Structure 1
Amino acid sequence: MTQSLQDIGYRIREIRELRGLTLDECAKQSNITRAYLNTMELGQANFSIGKLQSLSNTLNVQLSDFFMKSPSLYSLEEEVIKILSANKNQRNLQCVIALLRAMDAS
């Protein structure tokens, strides 16, 4: 497959792992098979925009995030806030938000 499919597949896996989802969980929530999601992540499938849209909905990111070098920081910042807020660790929350904002500014 082409390098761009491999890059997209890598970003799918990266975002999925950042969201804390297993391959099985993500596939089920996206209504695709585990095997097909695995081939997508390996860059070995010619997938449709519909499949990517389903994944973007499951992973709570914009479709364009799959075509960038890193997922949008806004989407990730929201997810980090949710996770850290659940743990009620204010210091960690402030540190992570500051880091994400600094990365977004660069």
Structure 2
Amino acid sequence: MTILLDHIALQLKQLRTEKGWSLDQTAKQTGISKAMLGQIERGESNPTVQTLWKIAMGFHTSLSHFLPLEQKEQHVLQHQDEALSVKILQAYNPDLAYEVLLISLKANTMHHSCAHDTGVMEDILPLSHTVKLGLENEVMTAKMGEVLRFSADQNHAYINENSHEIQFYNIVHYPK
């Protein structure tokens, strides 16, 4: 088990213990199967970014909550089955209620993200080229040098129609 997987496992178990939730209750709150949650807690499974987001949302916490505070190197959350990878640039700050992520999205791919808690906002800042954002009934576009702000308490998708990988900053603002 890696240091990161150990930490994710420990954080999940600690959050469950604090809430007094069984694996069944946790599965209902997160939308992740009881079997998968057990595997993550035992360090037997490397969760996808999407899975980790769902767990964070089920516990009403940030994605960066699952990363070690004292990082000798900045961790990248990635999974071979996903088009998207996430590097935490600024872990969740409770005083300011935000975290800063660097997102990489493979060429000609789309990554679906489920709705966050009510009041969560995201800012997308492309580092190069164009990023598209699919919302329930519209597609929005952000070009390099632009900022796209949207309400993240709805299902959304990051879309890369370019023939190469793109990167963008994602600032996630949580309600206080």
Q: Which runs of 4+ in 1 moved over 6 A?
A: none
- For normalisation by structure 1, the TM-score amounts to 0.60
Q: Does 1:56 align with 2:46?
A: no
Residue matched to 2:160? none
| Structure with the higher helix share, 1 or 2 | 1
CA distance in 2, matches of 1:55, 1:8: 11
Residue matched to 1:68? 68
Deviation at 1:68, TM superposition (A): 3.1
Contact 2:4 2:68 in 1 (8 A): no
Residue matched to 2:3? 3
1:72-92 deviations in Å (ceiling 9; x for gaps): 795xxxxxxxxxxxxxxxxxx
Residue matched to 1:33? 33
Deviation at 1:7, TM superposition (A): 1.5
CA distance in 1, matches of 2:3, 2:68: 14
1:2-31 deviations in Å (ceiling 9; x for gaps): 232012111111012112221110112211
Contact 1:6 1:44 in 2 (8 A): no
1:25-53 deviations in Å (ceiling 9; x for gaps): 01122112111101101111011010010
Aligned length: 72
Q: Percent identity among equivalent residues? A: 29
| Structure with the higher strand share, 1 or 2 | 2
Contact 1:15 1:59 in 2 (8 A): yes
CA distance in 1, matches of 2:30, 2:57: 8
Residue matched to 1:24? 24
Q: Which consecutive unaligned segments of at least 5 residues does structure 1 have?
A: 75-106
CA distance in 1, matches of 2:36, 2:18: 20
Q: CA RMSD in A?
A: 1.9
CA distance in 1, matches of 2:20, 2:68: 20
Contact 1:40 1:47 in 2 (8 A): yes
Q: Which consecutive unaligned segments of at least 5 residues does structure 2 have?
A: 70-91, 95-176
- For normalisation by structure 2, the TM-score amounts to 0.38
Bigger radius of gyration, 1 or 2?
2
Contact 2:13 2:41 in 1 (8 A): yes
